[in-house]
Amino acid sequence: LNFQLTILGTSAAVPYKNRGLAAQVLEVHNRLFLVDCGDATQFRMHTHGIKLSKIEAIFISHLHGDHCFGLPAVLTTLAMQGRTAPMHIFAPKGLKRMIDTIFEVSNYVSPYPIYIEEFDENWFAQPESGFKTTIYENKQLRVRAFPLMHRIPTCGYVFEEKQAPRNIIAERIAQYDIPHTAISGIKNGENFTTKEGFVIENEALTRAPNKPRSFAYASDTRYSAAIIPHILGVDLLFHEATFMHNMAEHAAFSGHSTAQEAATIAQLASAKRLIIGHFSARYTDLSPLLLEAKAVFENTELADDFTTYFVEKS
Amino acid sequence: LNFQLTILGTSAAVPYKNRGLAAQVLEVHNRLFLVDCGDATQFRMHTHGIKLSKIEAIFISHLHGDHCFGLPAVLTTLAMQGRTAPMHIFAPKGLKRMIDTIFEVSNYVSPYPIYIEEFDENWFAQPESGFKTTIYENKQLRVRAFPLMHRIPTCGYVFEEKQAPRNIIAERIAQYDIPHTAISGIKNGENFTTKEGFVIENEALTRAPNKPRSFAYASDTRYSAAIIPHILGVDLLFHEATFMHNMAEHAAFSGHSTAQEAATIAQLASAKRLIIGHFSARYTDLSPLLLEAKAVFENTELADDFTTYFVEKS
C-alpha cells in the first residue's frame, strides 16, 4: 500500500529550462490526488506515464496561473477519456467562476459532475481550530486545508493516511478458537473471551498497524510560523523555497519563502523530511539552496521534475 | 525575408503520443504570429527554441479548449519576461470574457496592454464581401479572417505578405543620373523624366518584386466550399483532416473534415500546397490520411509536430 509523491514541476511563475510549473501527484494506496495544476500538467502526466483517469480529487493552492492554468485542459481531457465519476476540486474562492466562465464561452458542458468546493473569506477568517476539519476523505485518506500567507488567498493541504485496524496474529485464531464474527472487533482493539471464560488481552492477539503516513503541501507562502500547528510531525513536507536567504526581504514582499525559512518551518514542525521547490528562474544551480536548507534541517531534498518521493511504512 | 510556418501541435482534442494540441507559429520577415494556443503552447515553444517574446499578435480560431487553453499562461509568462508592447489578439466572441475572468479571479493585472478583438454574431452574419476586410496589418503583412463551419463560431485566417515595391536596377541610377528624391516614386512604379526631357519607362528602371506569399489556416471546420473564395491561390494551406473519409458522416456531424475533403478544398481553391493536421487520436499511423489526400491533391504533406514549413520567394 503505497504512499508516494511525484513532482511534475519545480519552477516558480514561468517554466525554466526543464523545470515545469507547480503540479504534484500524491498516490495513496494506488489512488491519485492532483495537487496544483500549472499549464501543461496533462502533458507532463502523459510524458511521465501517470494516468490522468486515475485522479480522484484535485487540490488547488491558489489561483495564480502557474498553479491552476492547466486545470481546464485536465478536466476536458478527462471527459474525452470517458470519465463518468464525479471530480471533487478544492480551491480558494474564484476557481468555480473561472471554470464556469471558460466552459460557458467554449459552449462546453462536462459529461461528468465537477464539484468545486471553495474557501471563501469566512473560511480564511475562522478560528484556528476550524482548520482541523477534514475537507475530503475516502477509505484510505483524510485531507485538511490550512491558510498560507501569500499575495492572494492561498491554502496548504495535509494528506493523512487513515489509521489501519490492528493486524490479527494468524496463529492466535486457531490457538484460541476465535470465530470469524469476533475478528473485526479484535482488529479494532477488543479483547477476546474464550469459551472457557478466559479473557485474552488484545495485545496478545494483534500487532500494531503501520503508523499513518502524512504529506503536507505549503506553496506559495512567505515564512509563517502560524502554519506549524497544522503540519506538526508530518512525514513529508513540501515547502516552497523560491529564493535564497540573501533575498529574504524580496521573498517576504512577494509572498515567498527562502530555503532557510522553509527549513526552519520543517525544523519547528518536527517534520521527518523536507522537499523544497518552486524555484525562481534566477537559480540555474540549485545546490546552494539545498546547502542553505540543510544547514537548518538536515533531511532536506531538492524537488526535481518527474521524480517520485516514497514514504515507506513504519 | 522569411515566410515560414512552425507547427507545434497536430492532435485533435487531446494530446496523443508526441502530438500536441493546436498551435502554430507563422514567421514573416522575422516577426512571429501565434495561431491558436492549446494547453502547453508556452512549453512547446520553449522546447523548440521559439522566443515567446517575439510574438506580435495572436489569432485564435475558436474557443474549444484544445485551441485556446494555453493562452492565459502565454500572456502571463510574457509579462514575467518584461513585455511592455501591446498584444493584439483576435478571436470569436467570448475570449475577452474568459481572459478577463481568469485574470480577475487571480487578482492579476497585465503590465502590458492586451487588446482582444472579437468576432461577434454580426461579424459572422455580414455579407461575404465584408470578410475581405483586413483585420490586422503591419509593414510586412495583412491578415483577413473568414468563417469556418464548426460546432461553435470559428474563424479561419489568411496571412498575406504585402506587395514589396519594385526593385530599382542599381546601374540605371548612374546611367540616367536619377536623384535620390525620385527613387521612392520609381520603386512605386513611376516613370522617370531625365534632365534632357526623355521619359524612361518604369519597366526599364526596375525589376518586379517577389510575389507576395500567403498562408491560410482552416481549423476546425467541416467541409465547406464557402471558404474557397477566401483562400483562392494561397501558397500554403493548413486544413484540418481529423478523420479518414470512411468517417465522413461522423466528421460532418462533429464539425470536422476528412483528409479527402481537405484535399478537395485545396484543389478547388487552387492552393499551391496543402498541410493536413488536427488528427484524431484513433490514427497512430497517419500515412493512410496522406494517401487519401494525395489522391485528390498531390502536393499534400502531413503536419508534423515541431516541423517548419518554408514558403520560398518566387
Q: What is the pLDDT of residues A30-53, one digit of tens each?
A: 999 999 999 999 999 999 999 999
Residue of B15, B40, B63 lying closest to A39 (CB–CB) = B40
Segment B209-242, tens digit of pLDDT:
999 999 999 999 999 999 999 999 999 999 999 9
Catalytic residue among A39, A66, A220, A235: A66
- Per CB-CB distance under 8 Å, the chain A contacts of B70 are 39-40, 73
Kindly list the residues of chain B whose beta carbon comes within 8 Å of any beta carbon in chain A: 13-15, 20-21, 38-40, 42-43, 46, 63-66, 68-70, 72-73, 76-77, 80-81, 94-95, 97-98, 101-102, 104-108, 151-152
Distance of CA A129 to the CA centre of its chain: 20
Distance from CA of B125 to the nearest CA of A (A): 19
Burial class for A263, CB neighbours closer than 10 Å (0-12, 13-18, 19+): buried
Question: Tens-of-pLDDT digits for all 314 residues of chain A?
Answer: 899 999 999 999 999 999 999 999 999 999 999 999 999 999 999 999 999 999 999 999 999 999 999 999 999 999 999 999 999 999 999 999 999 999 999 999 999 999 999 999 999 999 988 999 999 999 999 999 999 999 999 999 999 999 989 999 999 999 999 999 999 999 999 999 999 999 999 999 999 999 999 999 999 999 999 999 999 999 999 999 999 999 999 999 999 999 999 999 999 999 999 999 999 999 999 999 999 999 999 999 999 999 999 999 98
Question: Cα separations (Å) of A297 from A137, A220, B249?
Answer: 31, 20, 64
Residues in chain B closer than 8 A to A94 (CB atoms) = 104-106
d(CA B192, CA B201): 7
Give the mutation candidate from A69, A100, A305 for the B interface (greatest B CB count, under 10 A).
A69
All residues at 6 or more sequence positions from B69 whose CB lies less than 8 Å from its CB, including other chains: A69, A72, A73, A76, A102, B21, B37, B38, B39
Paired with B31 in beta bridges are B28
Beta bridge mates, A310? A4
CA B31 to chain centre: 12
Residues of B in contact with A69 (CB under 8 A): 69, 72-73, 76, 102
Closest CB to A13 among B63, B66, B80: B80
Q: So which residues of B are the catalytic ones?
A: 66
Write out chain A residues lying below 8 Å of B80, CB-based. Answer: 13-14
- Under the banding of pLDDT at 50, 70 and 90, the label for residue B314 is confident
Q: Do B42 and A46 touch (CB under 8 A)?
A: no
Residue A127: CB partners within 8 Å, gap ≥ 6?
none
- A chain contacts of residue B64, beta-carbon cutoff 8 Å: 106, 108
**Is A177 one of the catalytic residues?**
no
Q: Find the helix or strand (DSSP H, E) in which A46 lies.
A: helix A41-48
Widest CA span in chain A: 74
- C-beta atoms of B39 and A42 within 8 A: yes
pLDDT tens for B179-190 read 999 999 999 999
Complex-level ipTM: 0.92
Angle made by CA atoms A147, A152, A155, in degrees to the nearest 5: 25
pLDDT of residue A314: 85
pLDDT for B23 beyond 90 = yes
